[in-house]
Amino acid sequence: MKRILSIITIALTATSIAIAQSEFDALKFIQPEITGTARYTSMAGAFGALGGDPSAIKDNPAGLGIYRKSELTATLGINTQKTSTSWRNGYATTEGLYKPVFNNLSYVLAIPVSSYSNTNLVQSNFSFSFNRLKNFDRNIRINGGVGSPSSLTDYLAYFSEPFTGYDLYEDTEYDPYSNIDIPWMSVLAANAGLISENNQGWTSVLEPNETVSPYYTSREQGYLNEFAVSWSGNFNNRLFLGATLNFYDLNYHAETEYSETFSLDGYLTLLNTFKSNATGLGLKLGSIYAPLDYLRLGLSLQTPVVYNVKDYHYADLKYGYQTQNGFINDKEMTPEGDNNYKLQGPFTYNLSGSFILGNKAVIGFEYAASLNSGSKFMDINNNTFYHSYENDSIKAFFNKQTMIKIGGEYKLTDHFSIRAGYAFAGPATSDKLRKEFNPNTIRTDVEFFVPNGSTQYLTAGLGYRESNWYIDLAVMNKVYDEKFYAYNSNKLAPNRANVAGIVTTSNINVIGTIGLRF
């Protein structure tokens, strides 16, 4: 009932000033990924200078100029995922999922230029495409065992230090959730009695030497899609120039549950629901130069994409603990909060090369870089004033992220080819990154994941081609590690800091593409 009664007030206040995002939300938009057709995937996406594939266009639009025939292509796949975790002295856990995905649909219109033209333009090609750039689907379960030296209540007591009970406690005449200067996580904790105020400030409900047994689960769903309109020109079969106008659509939904069992009788369970929808617009420019028949060199530039984002968030807190008047067992919940803002993504560039070894083989190389520290949050009027916490953290801890790709194809016969590739991407952020919140945040999802080393891709595939149609198959194994933190325990006394959990995610994608040429 409180959630329903408060939603009108929140809509009029919190959406315009209260903060509902952290720097970790930017990672959904900026981290690179290898997705696309089966041929592209089987060569680890090393197509920046090679071109002639629908997915190569999204990396370097000049690759569209390689086409001599029009083409219609569709790609489907199966995503199998396993997430393995370990944390403190808890037992290792494994979660997984199995899901079909629709990766790509594209139409290439190849238009030869009349030989009577006075220009050097040989082809003027257009393409219209859909690309699934990212899949966010993942299930995680992490067990922390027993004897953790700190509790979420310790962090909430620390975070609530600037505020008084007058600010946080609700009564019949005051709803702190409608106060745009008050953090919702502090309101939850104070009204649940998990933190209490005294002369020294706020303290946890736990005894000084009490430990907890933590447990965490997460279910993520969603995607980042790209809809693109591209053009490329072929000049004398030596120079290819292209441009793409990209439209982006993001949908993300996460449900997380963090729980603690207190060693001296009691518990808490914090359930967070978070949804995000975003649209964006970007421009990519590319070129390919072929100084020799067997050598192509590529360069592409992606201007920073500006996303318009709308987030929704609410939380339920279940708790129980012993008092002088008996055992309290109750529930506290926030209203639904939402926030509109903009995110400017990084500037990216791509350098590539390819060798064409007669009619038998091709080899592609690619170096892609994303200048992540240039990303920033803005309000709907393009003002960064209310987002200094997040933007300062991005500048300090976001890396120049690089991705190296190498892939090859060899023709066993005129119709049948085999392919393989390897790629790795450096971490998007420093491993010293920690989640920081503005003092007036309405977010209560305090957990976070930090990249722990590079992301590895190992790919392989095969293809069969006739003059007017083809079919390709590919398999890709992607593996990456992360450090998990239930909350920023570095803010607590050194003897209360907690260790990170380790999360290893392995994706095996099986992909099939069918194409028609005409």
5-23 pLDDT, tens digit each: 444 444 444 344 566 788 8
- Please report, for residues 56, 245, 298, the alpha-carbon distance to residue 53 in angstroms, rounded to integers and kept in the order given: 5, 18, 15
Query: Smallest Cα–Cα separation from 22: which of 450, 332, 480, 403?
Result: 450
Per-residue model confidence (pLDDT) at position 436: 85
Per-residue model confidence (pLDDT) at position 460: 98
Cα atoms found within 13 Å of the Cα of residue 24, Cβ hemisphere only: 18
Provide the 10 A C-beta neighbour count for residue 488: 19
Q: What is the average per-residue pLDDT within 388-413? A: 94
Per-residue model confidence (pLDDT) at position 231: 97
Query: Smallest Cα–Cα separation from 430: which of 373, 512, 488?
Result: 373
Per-residue model confidence (pLDDT) at position 118: 65
Per-residue model confidence (pLDDT) at position 14: 39
> Percent helix, strand, coil in the chain (nearest 5)?
15, 55, 30
Query: Smallest Cα–Cα separation from 84: which of 94, 75, 70?
Result: 94
Q: What is the average per-residue pLDDT within 280-296? A: 96
Predicted confidence (pLDDT) at residue 3 exceeds the cutoff of 60? no
Integer Cα distance of 404 and 387 in angstroms:
33
Predicted confidence (pLDDT) at residue 312 exceeds the cutoff of 50? yes
Per-residue model confidence (pLDDT) at position 68: 94
- Please report, for residues 35, 58, 421, the alpha-carbon distance to residue 101 in angstroms, rounded to integers and kept in the order given: 11, 18, 22
**Which tens digit of pLDDT belongs to each residue from 415-424?**
999 999 999 9
Buried b (16+ CB within 10 A) or exposed e, 134-144: bbbbbbbebbb
Q: What is the average per-residue pLDDT within 181-189? A: 95
Q: What are phi and psi of 410, to 5 degrees?
A: -130, 130
**Which tens digit of pLDDT belongs to each residue from 55-71?**
999 999 999 999 999 99
Please tell me whether residue 324 adopts helix, strand or coil conformation: coil
Query: Smallest Cα–Cα separation from 246: which of 105, 129, 342?
Result: 129
Topology of 2-517 in CATH?
Porin (2.40.160)
Per-residue model confidence (pLDDT) at position 116: 55
Asked whether 188 and 272 are in contact (CB, 8 A), the reply is no
Question: Domain extents for the chain?
Answer: 2-517
| Burial zone of 499 (CB within 10 Å; 0-12 exposed, 13-18 middle, 19+ buried) | middle
Per-residue model confidence (pLDDT) at position 405: 98
The two structure tokens encoding residue 216: 């965490």
Question: Using 50, 70 and 90 to split pLDDT, how confident is the model at 115?
Answer: low
Integer Cα distance of 283 and 240 in angstroms:
17
Query: Smallest Cα–Cα separation from 422: which of 40, 41, 38, 44?
Result: 44
Predicted confidence (pLDDT) at residue 349 exceeds the cutoff of 80? yes
What sign does the CA torsion over 148, 149, 154, 155 have?
Answer: negative
Predicted confidence (pLDDT) at residue 226 exceeds the cutoff of 60? yes
Q: Where are the beta strands (DSSP E) in 87-144?
A: 93-109, 121-135, 138-143
Beta bridge partners of 171: 174
Query: Smallest Cα–Cα separation from 111: which of 120, 124, 122, 102?
Result: 124
**Which tens digit of pLDDT belongs to each residue from 81-104?**
999 999 988 888 999 899 999 999
Integer Cα distance of 95 and 431 in angstroms:
24
Integer Cα distance of 463 and 38 in angstroms:
9
Asked whether 63 and 511 are in contact (CB, 8 A), the reply is no
Integer Cα distance of 339 and 498 in angstroms:
31
